[in-house]
Amino acid sequence: MTGNIHSIETMGLVDGPGIRTVVFLKGCPLKCAYCHNPDTQNCGGGKSYTVSELVNFIKRYKRYYDVSGGGVTFSGGEPLLQSAFLIEAIKALKAEGIHVALDTSGYGDESYYKALLPLVDLVLLDIKHYDDLAHKKLVGKSMNGLLKFLSYLEEHKVKLWLRHVMVPGLTDSKESMDQLFHHIEKYAKLVEKIEILPYHKLGVEKYTQLGMVDPMADIPEMDTEAAKFYESYIRGLLEDSKSQDRKTISRRSAV
């Protein structure tokens, strides 16, 4: 079995805990207006790896994973498009004692989810928007795929880091954070971390190189300090929710 891989980044520090190797798979069913990797959207191109070739490459960095609490993160594109390959690769990595994270938007073939998700140590889930109509406009699909994926994460009790790209004039407000939290509150027990990622223009040159039109060419970058403020705000909502859950459990135990 082979996987179609765009690129591999070693010594990554932001896509999960510790030092990580990040494997970017080709292909994505979404067309995010703010995509900074448009070169991964197409399923064609890339380099073909067998499971053993990929695992042998990744194993070279195992000592860094071990000392830092790191591992491997599968990203994209959308890694769920290659779930059959992912399942076999993750099984082999777990046999080597390597931590595996999945960086995804939650859109793939759900027939693989029950086999895939129990193998994954952590899911980094990118939530594009909280409103279905705005979600369709922003990425080209409704929220149904995301909500279905979340239900599988809840079923399998997968640890979560939630991510949201904040775009000026789109979701940069407390009201937007309140609405976003409304959608994720029922999964609070699974959520270890929420990250608000400020929209940036680091991928603008790729659009030119690919002969593509940047749909957000007129949108400025998100102010990083403002993004930190909103991240602190929604993290506070998460902690309040968890605190209420703990109090409820404590009261029930006392009865």
Q: Looking at residue 224, what is its pLDDT?
A: 97
pLDDT in tens, 76-113: 999 999 999 999 999 999 999 999 999 999 999 999 99
- Cα–Cα distance measured from residue 44 to residue 215, given in angstroms and rounded to the nearest whole number: 22
Average the pLDDT over 2-9 and give the result: 97
pLDDT in tens, 119-153: 999 999 999 999 999 999 999 999 999 999 999 99
Q: Looking at residue 213, what is its pLDDT?
A: 85
* 11 alpha carbon, distance to own chain's centre: 18
Show the DSSP H helices in the chain as ranges: 51-59, 62-68, 83-95, 113-116, 132-139, 144-156, 174-184, 204-209, 224-254
47-50 and 2-12 strand pairing: antiparallel
Q: Is the pLDDT assigned to residue 181 strictly greater than 60?
A: yes
Domain edges within the chain = 2-254
The helix/strand/coil state of 170 is: coil
Q: Is the pLDDT assigned to residue 248 strictly greater than 80?
A: no
- Cα–Cα distance measured from residue 66 to residue 54, given in angstroms and rounded to the nearest whole number: 18
- Cα–Cα distance measured from residue 196 to residue 173, given in angstroms and rounded to the nearest whole number: 12
What is the amino acid identity at position 122?
Answer: L
Please state the pTM of the whole predicted model. Answer: 0.92
The helix/strand/coil state of 167 is: coil
Question: What topology is assigned to 2-254 in CATH?
Answer: TIM Barrel (3.20.20)
45 band by pLDDT with thresholds 50, 70 and 90? confident
251 band by pLDDT with thresholds 50, 70 and 90? low
